[in-house]
Structure 1
Amino acid sequence: MRLRNKTALQSRLRYSFLLVCMALLCAGCGKERGTLRQKKVKTIETIADLGALPRFVTDPEDNPATPEKIELGRFLFFDPILSGNRDVSCATCHQPEFNYAEFLETSIGVNGTGTGSKRRFNDSNDLPFVKRNSQSILNTAFNGIKNGEPYKPEEAPMFWDLRAKGLEMQALVPIRTLEEMRGASFHEGRILDEIVERVQRIPAYKGLFAAAFPGEGEPVNQINLSKAIASFERTLIAPNTRFDQYMRGDSNALSSGEKDGLNSFLVAGCAKCHSGPMFSDYKLHTLGVPDTDNRKESDAGIHLDYAFRTPTLRNLRYTAPYMHSGKLATLDQVLMFYEDIAGGKILNPHVKPEEMDSLATDMDVNFRDISRIVDFLNTLNDDNFDKSVPASVPSGLPVTGL
């Protein structure tokens, strides 16, 4: 009897010990889950996640700027000789008076007539609008710059989908693009050779290329064409906004209201993507931005996931409309768009909720903060940049285009 009682007691002890272990294990799991929940506590960026722009640009080692290159690049930028139909230039969609962007939702490139609000397609036209909103070229010399990291201009991310690196590579892409500058008369693989041949036949350009690239047997070529345009574009900078002055130590550069807006910008989570001196992480994000009505097809982006690059927030006063499709006309609309996202609203019917970027859906933009944030964004404007347009171009064609 004692043996049976002892055995039963041992069994109960083992069972009790097992229950205690399970309880401790569960308690440990609960503690771990609590720790994980604590790790998800919202982090708020600080002003240290932003930054002032450098006062000077960095040139690639293989393309140091010279006055001759810059002068040549300026002429090329405004000369429609670079387009298939000789009717559109780089400056047609990147206009100095609009911060080297354009106020149209999406641009009319080749086979168009007029400039600004008067630009339209020719009567006989089968070409589409340019696919995406014309981004500003101002400050693209700083694309990709980050706080405390070496900057390599040849690796600077370009375009809404990051399909090119560096201004030199970027300069040739519009010339090869059907609806931007190439047109239907030339094959994509032939157009750059055609442009080089045209320029070689113009004595004034031959002299300008020889001065910009001395010592080369035939300086008029595709590489030098891109280097000259890039050298000019690197002169288009506006690094002395009131925010830059504030970051460099002038505490009076911003008003108290603008400082409140800066704080609201940070608390709302805007700086999770709009960070660094250019206010961009230069990454692709899916936000469900509505498509432009200027194109029949929906623009799903380079990876077909509706992700597009975070744009800079500098000089926004001059670069409306906004987003890759140009569908948002004002900064208030942009901030209300983010408020809608945080509320679970998706404006593009092709984008599913699970595809939305969590950095956007977790933002906390409130209507009461919008005007203050806009006040802060206006401190990122600097109107002191080169807007000069040459009186004529070496081709003899109309400056900018028809």
Structure 2
Amino acid sequence: MAASLLPRVASMLAAATLLLAVACHKESENATPSNDDLSVLGALPLSAPAPADNPGTPAKIALGRALFWDPVLSGGKDVSCASCHHPANGYADAIDLAIGVNGQGLGTARRFRQPNAIPFAKRNTPTVLNTAFNGLTNGGSYDPARAAMFWDSRAQSLEAQSVQPIAALEEMRGPACSESAALDTAVARLRRIPAYASMFSAAFAEPAPVTATNLGKALAAFERTLLATDAPFDKYLRGDKTALSAQQVQGLNAFISSGCAKCHSGPMLSDYQLHVLGVADNPKNAASDAGANNSYAFRTPSLRNVALTAPYMHSGTQPNLGAVLAFYAPPPGAPPTANPRVAPGQRDPLFPARVQDPQAIIAFLQSLTATSFDRSVPVTVPSGLAVGGNIQ
């Protein structure tokens, strides 16, 4: 009789062992990450430092806000910074490649007014939310005058970055003037507008304050106010362990264990380094985009507010977060890299070997969305032109 029970007992023990293993696995997935795990990430500071030579003042910020929304800076007076960095789209533009000059409409409704007159911008538009923290990493000193900007890190500081689109053909310049004359043309226009002359004088105590340098400083001062620091993940790291759902905690653990945090680290979830991933080119570009130094390397983007800024990657070729994670874990039979010009051996060694629980990771990425950023749109701009440019 006892012998006949042995198989049943053995079966029950095996089932109990399996259930215990599953329970332990689930507990591990949902466990609060260790301090060592969380130390590779970080909560955002509540304020952003400015360079010593460009402290933010109310007058300078007000000037920068007006300039950000005023299409007077563009060659055809039809594009502003806000045309592609609009609060309705998380201060990005919601399309794969930006439509600047010759564009009409906002976000996914934006189109060229005259097809084939001006090409798309070369790369996907990054958000300007929290760019005041670009370059911020764990354990290092932060210098806003050396903050990496653009997908290829070709500019340092918001001051340097903010004026470059004015001279870019596809972004704001258009065919109205040469690249070398674009900034001088914009400054000359500003000098002829009495309201701007007064605003520059209030912001900069100089005999002739309307200059290209001060234009960049004012734009940068305003952009440093575009902060979004109250994401659920920030609250979680500041001690509120109820700020993340169980699935988001599971996703945070999977994000770390999958190796995502090796590059998406620090408070901005970016190491601000250049990496070769082999992302597909956008077919709208006439030529392949070879990135920094023709190496196919691009800077790790911040994941802050990432749920607001689809599509993704430098080429805008990934339509949603699920597609991004699938890029790192391609299905069987997929090409060895998404870009045939980049061999698997050329990819950065930090390229993830696997991605665990992508749906939970997506839930975690949604916890990086803050809500309390400036969404205000001015009623008018000093030039009298359409606020934001041709975005209606």
TM-score range, shorter chain: 0.7 to 0.9
Instruction: Report the equivalent of 1:265.
Output: 255
1:384 to 354, 372, 377: 372
Runs of 4+ in 1 over 3 A off after TM superposition: 341-344
Question: In structure 2, the residue corresponding to 1:189 is in which secondary structure?
Answer: helix
RMSD: 1.5
Change (3 A) 1:282 1:305: same
Instruction: Report the equivalent of 1:304.
Output: 294
Q: Distance in 2 between matches of 1:329 and 1:245?
A: 28
Contact 2:93 2:108 in 1 (8 A): no
Structure 1 residues 305-364: Cα deviation after superposition (integer angstroms, max 9, x where no partner)? 21111001111121000000111111111011111299973111111122111110x432
Matched, 1:59 2:47: no
Question: In structure 1, the residue corresponding to 2:67 is in which secondary structure?
Answer: helix
Q: Distance in 1 between matches of 2:119 and 2:176?
A: 15
Structure 1 residues 83-124: Cα deviation after superposition (integer angstroms, max 9, x where no partner)? 111110001111111110011110111122233333222327
1:116 to 91, 107, 118: 107
Matched, 1:92 2:83: yes
The range that moved more, 323-332 or 288-297, is 288-297
Instruction: Report the equivalent of 2:95.
Output: 104
Per-residue deviation, 1:127: 1.6
The amino acid of 1:95's aligned partner reads: H
Instruction: Report the equivalent of 1:76.
Output: 67
The range that moved more, 239-248 or 200-209, is 239-248
Question: In structure 1, the residue corresponding to 2:45 is in which secondary structure?
Answer: coil
Instruction: Report the equivalent of 1:314.
Output: 304
The amino acid of 1:363's aligned partner reads: A
Q: Distance in 2 between matches of 1:148 and 1:286?
A: 25
Instruction: Report the equivalent of 1:371.
Output: 359
Q: Which runs of 5+ in 2 are unaligned?
A: 1-35
Change (3 A) 1:341 1:187: farther
Instruction: Report the equivalent of 1:228.
Output: 218
Matched, 1:395 2:386: no
Change (3 A) 1:122 1:154: same
The amino acid of 2:153's aligned partner reads: L
Structure 1 residues 1-34: Cα deviation after superposition (integer angstroms, max 9, x where no partner)? xxxxxxxxxxxxxxxxxxxxxxxxxxxxxxxxxx
Change (3 A) 1:389 1:354: same
Contact 2:102 2:117 in 1 (8 A): no
Instruction: Report the equivalent of 2:185.
Output: 194
Q: Distance in 2 between matches of 1:341 and 1:149?
A: 38
Change (3 A) 1:212 1:285: same
Q: Distance in 2 between matches of 1:241 and 1:281?
A: 20
Q: Distance in 1 between matches of 2:75 and 2:220?
A: 20
Change (3 A) 1:117 1:262: closer
The amino acid of 1:151's aligned partner reads: Y
Q: Which runs of 5+ in 1 are unaligned?
A: 1-44
Instruction: Report the equivalent of 2:278.
Output: 288
Contact 1:111 1:125 in 2 (8 A): no
Instruction: Report the equivalent of 2:338.
Output: 347
Counterparts of 1:2-17 in structure 2 under 5 Å? none
Tell me the TM-score normalised to structure 1 length.
0.86
Instruction: Report the equivalent of 1:36.
Output: none
Structure 1 residues 122-179: Cα deviation after superposition (integer angstroms, max 9, x where no partner)? 3274321000000000000000101122211011000000000000000011011111
The amino acid of 2:283's aligned partner reads: D
Instruction: Report the equivalent of 1:35.
Output: none
Instruction: Report the equivalent of 1:328.
Output: 318
Per-residue deviation, 1:186: 0.9
Contact 1:270 1:363 in 2 (8 A): no
Q: Distance in 2 between matches of 1:210 and 1:363?
A: 56
Tell me the TM-score normalised to structure 2 length.
0.88
Counterparts of 1:126-275 in structure 2 under 5 Å? 126-214=117-205, 216-275=206-265
Percent identity between the two aligned chains: 53
Instruction: Report the equivalent of 1:276.
Output: 266
How many pairs were matched up?
354
Q: Distance in 2 between matches of 1:254 and 1:107?
A: 33
Contact 1:199 1:220 in 2 (8 A): yes
The amino acid of 2:188's aligned partner reads: E
Q: Distance in 1 between matches of 2:104 and 2:251?
A: 42
